[in-house]
C-alpha cells in the first residue's frame, strides 16, 4: 500500500446523498483606529470592509476544491457569511454557514468562507493596523452524514 495522497469518491464509500450543513467561525482583532473606522462605517479606498469581506467569504466557499488538496467540488445550495462587531473586544466576529444535499459534508466550505472573510477584513484594514490578529477559525457545528451531528460545546 502506498502513502501517496488519493482522492476518494464518496460514492465508493457507500455514502447516501443527504442534507448536510456546517457552521464555522473566526475572530479578527483590530486596533482602535481600524475598529473605529469599521464601526463608524468609514469606507476604505477599497470600499466597505464588512460588505467586501462578506462577499469574499461566500466566493471563497465556492472555491474550496481549488484551495484544499483532495477536497471534492461540492454543489452548494446556500452559503451565508455574517460579520458582527464587538466593541468590548475590538474585534469582528465572523460566522459562515454552508448547505448542500450531497454525499459528503460541507465543513471545509464553511471553514474556507470564515477564513477568507477574516483575511479580507485584514486586507481592508491593514493600512490602519499592521498588527491585526485572526484567531479561532473553527467548526462550530455540522449536521448530516454518516458520522452524525457535531455541535461545539459553549465555553464554561
Task: Point out the residues that are catalytic.
Answer: 123
Give the position of cell 470592509: 49
Q: Where are the alpha helices (DSSP H) in the chain?
A: 32-39, 49-61, 64-67, 107-125
- DSSP-derived 3-state class of residue 18: strand
Residues belonging to the chain: 156
Give the position of cell 490602519: 128
Cell of 128: 490602519
Percentages of the chain per state (helix, strand, coil), in multiples of 5: 30, 30, 40
Amino acid at each position: 500500500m502506498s502513502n501517496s495522497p488519493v482522492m476518494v469518491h464518496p460514492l465508493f464509500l457507500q455514502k447516501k446523498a443527504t442534507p448536510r450543513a456546517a457552521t464555522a467561525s473566526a475572530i479578527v482583532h483590530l486596533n482602535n483606529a481600524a475598529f473605529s473606522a469599521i464601526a463608524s462605517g468609514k469606507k476604505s479606498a477599497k470600499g466597505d470592509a464588512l460588505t467586501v469581506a462578506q462577499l469574499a467569504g461566500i466566493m471563497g466557499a465556492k472555491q474550496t476544491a481549488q484551495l484544499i488538496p483532495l477536497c471534492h467540488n461540492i454543489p452548494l445550495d446556500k452559503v451565508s457569511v455574517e460579520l458582527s462587531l464587538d466593541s468590548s473586544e475590538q474585534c469582528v466576529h465572523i460566522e459562515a454557514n454552508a448547505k448542500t444535499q450531497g454525499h459528503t459534508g460541507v465543513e471545509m466550505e464553511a471553514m474556507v468562507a470564515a477564513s477568507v472573510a477574516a483575511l479580507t477584513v485584514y486586507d481592508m484594514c491593514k493600512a490602519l493596523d499592521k498588527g491585526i490578529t485572526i484567531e479561532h477559525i473553527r467548526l462550530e457545528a455540522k449536521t448530516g452524514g454518516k458520522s452524525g451531528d457535531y455541535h461545539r460545546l459553549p465555553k464554561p
